């Protein structure tokens, strides 16, 4: 599923007047790419991820996903778009603390409804197994290490088999080994044909990416394709 940005800007109202968090971005992102968004804190990475995933609307310009303008969708359509097409991974995992690991993954499928009810149980167990956390399925998230929680979060993000995976600083809270493992899992997702977009400060792992977009003050200052992802 392709994402197109056409001259996208996002301006916030502040006491000091309008502030441009994202400026005139135009680019295409295509299935199979593993894209890193880099740039200093405040350069607009999270804002851009929010625009791409329809969590926020541009002040001007257009975001198109699979050819469709997100601005043309009703709130209901936008909500199903997010549920079906986009998997989210966050720096602090954002698992539901009162549910077990298994229930967290089930909840994602129950909320969206793309996966047949009869297949959800088996699919949740398979995903947890794939990410090496099946033995923790009956525990609540706080009993797991950070790396394990992030793998549960990735399993949950993939529960509805989304074509696009978006992650905001997913290794920001992980040690070196778990950061490597997380980036490997994302690379596998891109190899499998998903579009994977990761905002990151983690310059040590840029080599895993197929393309690196550098933002500064909301503007795209570099768009580099890596020789090998």
Ligand X SMILES: Nc1ncnc2c1ncn2[C@@H]1O[C@H](COP(=O)(O)OP(=O)(O)O)[C@@H](O)[C@H]1O
Interface with ligand X by CB under 6 A: which residues?
12, 14, 19, 21, 39, 41-47
User: Could you give the CA distance from residue 58 to residue 106 in angstroms, rounded to a whole number?
Assistant: 32
> Which of the ranges 4-12, 26-34, 46-54, 93-101 carries the binding residues for Mg ion, by CB under 5 A?
46-54
| Strand order across the beta sheet in which 17-29 lies | 17-29, 3-14, 60-65, 68-69
Nearer to Mg ion, 46 or 160 (CB): 46
Three-state SS string over 123-173 comes to HHHHHHHHCCCHHHCCCCHHHCCHHHHHHHHHHHHCCCCCCEEEEECCCCC
Structure-block tokens of residue 157 = 């993000």
91 binds Mg ion (CB under 5 A): no
- Of the candidates 143, 43, 130, 66, the one whose C-alpha atom is nearest the C-alpha of residue 100 is 143
Cα angle for residues 27, 222, 183 (degrees, 5° grid): 85
> Which of the ranges 45-53, 83-91, 127-135, 145-153 carries the binding residues for Mg ion, by CB under 5 A?
45-53
Question: Could you say which of ligand X, Mg ion, none residue 143 binds, taking C-beta under 5 to 8 angstroms by partner kind?
Answer: none
Question: Could you say which of Mg ion, ligand X, none residue 12 binds, taking C-beta under 5 to 8 angstroms by partner kind?
Answer: ligand X
Nearer to ligand X, 20 or 180 (CB): 20
Contact 111, 137 (CB under 8 A): no
Question: Could you say which of Mg ion, ligand X, none residue 58 binds, taking C-beta under 5 to 8 angstroms by partner kind?
Answer: none
Question: Could you say which of Mg ion, ligand X, none residue 7 binds, taking C-beta under 5 to 8 angstroms by partner kind?
Answer: none
Nearer to Mg ion, 137 or 201 (CB): 201
46 binds Mg ion (CB under 5 A): yes
Nearer to ligand X, 12 or 69 (CB): 12
Contact 136, 101 (CB under 8 A): yes
For the CB of residue 12, give the shortest distance to ligand X in the complex, in Å: 3
Q: What residues make contact with Mg ion under the rule CB under 5 A?
A: 45-46
């Amino acid at each position: 599923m392709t994402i197109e940005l056409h001259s996208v800007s996002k301006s916030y109202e502040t006491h000091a007047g309008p502030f441009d968090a994202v400026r005139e971005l135009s680019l295409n992102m295509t299935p199979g790419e593993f894209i890193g968004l880099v740039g200093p804190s405040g350069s607009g990475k999270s804002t851009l991820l929010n625009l791409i995933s329809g969590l926020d609307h541009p002040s001007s310009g257009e975001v198109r996903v699979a050819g469709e303008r997100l601005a043309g969708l009703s709130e209901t359509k936008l909500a199903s778009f997010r549920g079906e097409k986009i998997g989210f991974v966050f720096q602090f995992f954002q698992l539901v603390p009162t549910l077990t690991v298994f229930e967290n993954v089930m909840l994602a499928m129950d909320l969206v409804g793309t996966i047949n009810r009869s297949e959800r149980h088996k699919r949740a167990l398979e995903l947890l197994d794939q990410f090496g956390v099946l033995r923790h399925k009956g525990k609540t998230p706080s009993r797991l290490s950070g790396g394990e929680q992030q793998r549960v979060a990735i399993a949950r993000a993939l529960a509805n088999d989304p074509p696009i995976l978006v992650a905001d600083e997913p290794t920001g809270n992980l040690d070196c080994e778990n950061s490597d493992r997380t980036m490997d899992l994302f690379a596998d997702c891109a190899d499998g044909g998903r579009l994977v977009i990761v905002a990151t400060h983690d310059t040590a792992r840029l080599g895993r990416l197929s393309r690196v977009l550098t933002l500064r003050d909301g503007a795209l200052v570099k768009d580099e394709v890596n020789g090998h992802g």
